Amino acid sequence: MKNPWMSAAFSVGFALSTFSQSDSVSLKDLEIPDAPGFMLLDKTPTTIQTPTSSKAFVLSALNAINENGGIPKNYAVDLTPFWFFRHPQMTAYKYAGYDIEKNRQLIFNQLQKVSVSFAYVTGYDSLTVKDVSNLAIGLRANIIHVRSQRDIADLKAANNLLVDQLKSEQNRLTAFIGDILLSVTDPVLYDLKVRQFYAEEAAKKTTQKSAIADILKRHALFSVDGAIAYSGFFLDNQFSDSHFGRFGGWLTMHVSKVLDPKQQRENYLNIYAIGRYLSDGTQRNDFAPGEYLQQNFIDAGGKLEFEFRQLSIGYEYLYRANLSNQDYTYRSSGLIKYRVSENLFLTGAFGRNFGTENNLISLLGLNWGLSAGTEKAMIR
C-alpha cells in the first residue's frame, strides 16, 4: 500500500521542482548614445555624452533641420559585442561593479562593455563642386564608474530581499497549503492552492526585480568615458578618390547629482568636462589646388544638463585651439533630448559650430536601440 506521507512529500517536491534559488533581472534602459564617428565629424547635436553602458545595437539617423526636406541622410550603427553573448555568471552586483565578498567597488568593471561604431555622413565640397562621403569607425568605453554609497546600500537591501524570498519559498508553500496530506485527500484543491501561491509569488518577484533594475540604471556618482575614432572621405562616390579625414581621441568626465533622492524616478543635474585631440585632414590647401592640409587641434569644454525623467535640457561649450597656427574657434549650443520610449530617443540642438563658415547648428537626431536578449543579471 502506498504511504500517504511519501505521496504528499513527493507532491510538494514536484510542485517545487521548477524552483531554483536564483532569478534574473532584465537590464533595461541601457544608454542609446551617438556614435563616436558622428562626434568626430562634429555632426551630433551634442559632442559630450553620459559615460555608461549602451544597448547591444544602436541605429542613429541625423540631419540638419533645413536640409534634404528634413529626411535623415546621415546614419551610424553602434554595437556592444559584450551583449551578444550570454553571461550566466553575471549578477546584479557584478553589473554594478561591486565585489560583495571583498566589500569594494570595481571601478574599471565597465571596460569590458566597449562598443564599436560605424558612421556614414554625406556632404558637399563647394570648391570642387563634388559630393563628399565620409566613412568613420570608432570605439567607446566606460573607463571609470563609481557608484554612490547610497546606491550600493539600496542594491544590497533589494537583492537580499529577493534572495530571502527565493530561499524561503519552500517553507512558505508548505505553510500556505496547510495540510501536508492535501495532495492525497483533495488533489484538485491542492493544485488550486499551488497555482495561487506561485501567482502571488510572481507578483512579488516582479515588484522586487523592478526595484533592483531601477537601482542598477541610476547614474554613476562619477565616471570617465574614453573614445577614439577615424574617418576617411571620398569625392563623387569614387573609391579611388579617397582622402584622410579625421582622427581623434577624447576623454569625458561626468559628475551626477540627484536633485531629489526621495523621488521614485530620479532627476539629475549632470556636469561634464571633455578633453579631445583631433587631427583634421579635411581642409583644402589654398596654395596647392587639389591638396588638403592636415591640422591638429585640442578641444576642451563642458556641459551642464538637467535631466527630468523623459526630458533632458542642457548647454555645452567647447573651445578648439589650432596647434599649427595658434588660431582658435568654439562651439556653443543648446540641447534637448526626449525619450519617446525605452528604445527611442529624439535629440536636437541649435547654436554655433566650430569655424567661421556654415557654422550654424540646427540638428535633429533619432537614436533607436535594440537589445540582444542577454542583458540580464542573476539574483543569487
Query: Looking at the predicted structure, is the pLDDT value of residue 293 above 60?
Result: yes
Q: Distance (Å, rounded) from C-alpha 248 to C-alpha 230? A: 7
pLDDT averaged over the chain? 80
Partner residues linked to 24 by β-bridges: 378
Q: By three-state DSSP, how is residue 357 classified?
A: coil
129, part of any domain: yes
State what percent of residues in the chain have pLDDT above 70.
79
Among 71-75, 147-151, 161-165, 375-379, the minimum mean pLDDT is found in 71-75
Residue type, 172: R
Is residue 200 in a domain?
no
The answer to whether 360 touches 65, Cβ cutoff 8 Å, is no
> Any idea what DSSP says for residue 9?
H
Residue 54 located in a structural domain: yes
Domain that holds residue 124: 24-147+218-379
- For residue 212, pLDDT beyond 60: yes
Per-residue pLDDT reduced to its tens digit, 178-198 = 766 666 676 777 778 778 777
The verdict on residue 14 lying in a domain is no
Continuous H helices in 143-216: 149-167, 169-177, 182-185, 187-216
Q: Taking a C-beta distance cutoff of 8 angstroms, is the pair 227, 253 a contact?
A: no
Cell of 133: 562621403
Report d(CA 83, CA 373) in Å as an integer.
8
> Which CATH number belongs to the domain containing residue 342 in this structure?
2.40.160.40
- pLDDT score, position 179: 67
* Counted domains in the chain: 1
Which positions ≥6 away from 157 have C-beta within 8 Å? none
H or E segment and range at residue 136 = strand 130-146
The 3-state DSSP composition of the chain as helix, strand, coil percent (nearest 5) reads: 25, 45, 30
Statement: residue 9 has pLDDT above 70: no
**pLDDT of amino acid 11:** 47
What predicted TM-score, i.e. pTM, was given to this entire model? 0.80
Q: 302 in a domain, yes or no?
A: yes
pLDDT of 16 over the 50 cut: no
- What's the pLDDT score for residue 320? 93
Please choose, from the candidates 135, 125, 136, the residue with its C-alpha nearest in 3D space to the C-alpha of residue 284.
Answer: 125
- Quick one: pLDDT band at residue 10, thresholds 50, 70, 90? very low
Which amino acid would we find at residue 362? Answer: S
With respect to residue 37, please indicate whether it lies within any of the assigned structural domains. Answer: yes
Q: Provide the pLDDT for residue 103.
A: 92
From the list 309, 143, 311, the residue with the least C-alpha distance to 224 is 143
Residue 67 — pLDDT band, cuts 50, 70, 90?
A: low
On whether residue 167 sits in a domain, the answer given is no
176 found inside a domain: no
